[in-house]
Amino acid sequence: MKKFLPISKEEIVERGWDQIDFLFVSGDAYVDHPSFGPAVICRVLEAQGYRVALLCQPDWNKPYNFAALGKPRLGVMISGGNLDSMLCHYTAAKKPRTNDKYTPGGEMGKRPDHATMVYAQQVKKLWPELPVIIGGIEASLRRFVHFDYWENKLLPSILESSGADLLVYGMGEKQVVEIADYLAGGASLEDMHYIRGTAYCSKNLPELAKDEYVELPSFAEIKNDKALFAKAYKLQSKEQDPFYGKTVVQKGLKKYIIQNPTTFPLEQEEMDAIYDLDYMRDCHPSYKAFGGIAALEEVQFSIVSCRGCFGSCSFCAIHAHQGRIIQARSHESILREAKIISKLPGFKGYIHDVGGPTANFRHPSCAKQLKVGVCKDRQCLFPSPCPNINADHSDYIALLRKVRAIPGIKKVFIRSGIRFDYLLSDKNLNFLDELCRFHVSGQLKIAPEHVAPPVLEKMGKPGKEVYTRFMRLFDKKNKEIGLPQYLVPYFISSHPGCTLNNAVELAEFLRDIKHHPQQVQDFIPTPGSASTAMYYSGIDPETGKSVFVARNPHDKAMQRALMQYRNPNNRQLVLEALQKANRMDLVGSGPKCLIYVDDKKGGKRFTGKPNGSKSTAGKTINSKFANKNTKDSRFDKKATNKNTNHKHK
């Protein structure tokens, strides 16, 4: 009989265990679902015969609180949760969030800032002799010297600050089994210093030939020269390939951080075995009285079909965490999961997603990657798709057809990312037809991120013309099949390289396509990404050239406000932005204006022609043009509601 893994002393006793082998400390509540890292790692260990219990969101103020489930026999594994704890706690404006989706009832304050570090420090105080292994997204992306946006300073490797014995980076199933087997066999920590996909601290450089490892600028050097942060990022990012990547070394505060080469991609059979484990696909029953776990709602009826991403967007660290080589499950494994989901309580016939970091990546971008790795000095899709790319959606189409044919399944949606440039690289557009006919829930979320060429270049995203072509084809296809379906594009403000004029250009594009986003995303410099290296250093790691960065909160607020220029609360910020950008041609009563002013009422007249060009906008500006309560008859409340879900023209 399937059951939840134990999270209390009583549940351990019920299993008849006198002692657990591993204690897994998690910053999240326990959700036994394959979309939640702690559940996956613990189920993998369980499948290897180890006794594992989870200590979820413990009181971190006293070391003895970590002994609630007893002392484990072999070691303690720690994860801050599915999100970096700082991102979980704070917004892009560095304000405290009001809801934690990974905590029962959304309650805040159930984990500390820098949760992985704090947990490890306390466990080491309690049991200094026990091996402590940290992993998960927070540990993975903070393994080298990194910039913390919320503290606005450079921090040493989390390995050194936490006092942990070993760090697992990337997807950790292979590493944790190898670690567990070593510990069960009585091996020392030093014996495990050769495990791929791990990092450790050492007082000395590794005993390797000089050409067998890459040394990054040290913490002290980077602290004195921000440009070296960009250099360090470039050096280490080039070694994150299992086929040619070398050991990477960096001197921290007192010790060297030594990262072993990354793990090889999972074989399809290995992927299948992980997702075929006996997950309960629900949160632990003890959380139900508190309202459950909100993060489960979005993924409970979703299926992970692949891992990895060769899209390699600069602001995203998924390719650094999961790798650029795509790993996919077999059709048979996915169909088994779909049949299980179709019988779950509360299932209403809708599979919410069959995808991954990028849904339409179901195989490596080219055949050579599984033999020699990904290209070291070029991307698969940027600045344009590689001539060798295998843009073929036939396998994904076949899979989706099989899933939606299962009895009890009414509809299969695709809600994870679609790379439209990859879709357009396919020799035929069969997938677009299939997507529009069967897999869109009325709205398709898509992520062009920006439209200004200098910004897209720093993001590693395709040009505006690629997105506009996709828009036209999407609209044409939906007209052809007679379905009223719409694109919902996502854009990012204040990304490195984005000037105020670039932000105005984006606002004009939103105006022209008649899209008025209710929610927008301001760039957040999270650890481990190329964009964060740009934000901190002001230098593009790839080119070594300077990059404009909007760091001042007010400057960031203006860029963000331009994306929602119709919002009356943003009126003053938008006006200020247009003044600073010398774009007062966009203030007036003309159809192209972002700020509306009724020039029939007379008032202050602006002179001059912005940027030396003629303006068709109204030039007579009422003295109260900056009042956020000034009514814009074009953008009344009824019109705003009517146009929330637009169709691109």
Q: 167-193 in b/e burial notation, b at 16+ Cβ within 10 A?
A: bbbbbbbbbbbbbbebbbeeeebeebe
In the DSSP assignment, the letter for residue 54 is: E
Q: Are 451 and 467 in contact (CB under 8 A)?
A: yes
DSSP state at residue 336: H
Residues 405-429 pLDDT 10s: 999 999 999 998 899 999 999 999 9
Give the per-residue pLDDT at 637. Answer: 40
**Cα–Cα dist 160/136, whole Å:** 16
Q: Is the pTM of this model over 0.95?
A: no
Q: What is the pLDDT of residue 601?
A: 55
- What integer pLDDT is reported at residue 1 of this predicted model? 67
Instruction: Count Cβ atoms below 10 Å from residue 480 Cβ, excluding itself.
Output: 11
Q: Which residues contact 513 (CB under 8 A, 6 or more apart)?
A: 471, 646, 648, 649
Please give the DSSP secondary-structure letter assigned to residue 486.
E
Backbone angles phi, psi at 414, to 5 degrees: -120, 110
Can you spell out the DSSP letters for 154-210? EE--HHHHHT-SEEE-SS-HHHHHHHHHHHHTT--TGGGTT-TTEEEEESS--SS-G
pLDDT of residue 600: 63
Task: Give the Cα separation of 287 and 278 in Å (integer).
Answer: 20
According to the model, what pLDDT value does residue 462 have? 95
Note whether 281 and 340 are within 8 A (CB). yes
- What's the CA gap between 599 and 620, in Å, rounded? 5
CA gap 496, 556 in Å, rounded: 11
Residue range 127-173, pLDDT digits in tens: 999 999 999 999 999 999 999 999 999 999 999 999 999 999 999 99
Fold of 9-207: Rossmann fold (3.40.50)
Instruction: Report the amino acid identity of residue 360.
Output: N
Nearest to 488 by CA among 527, 522, 520, 529: 520
With a cut of 70, which residues of the chain have pLDDT below it? 1, 599-649
CA distances from 198 to 183, 234, 320 (A): 15, 20, 14
Q: What is the DSSP letter of 83?
A: S
Distance CA 240, CA 140 (A): 12
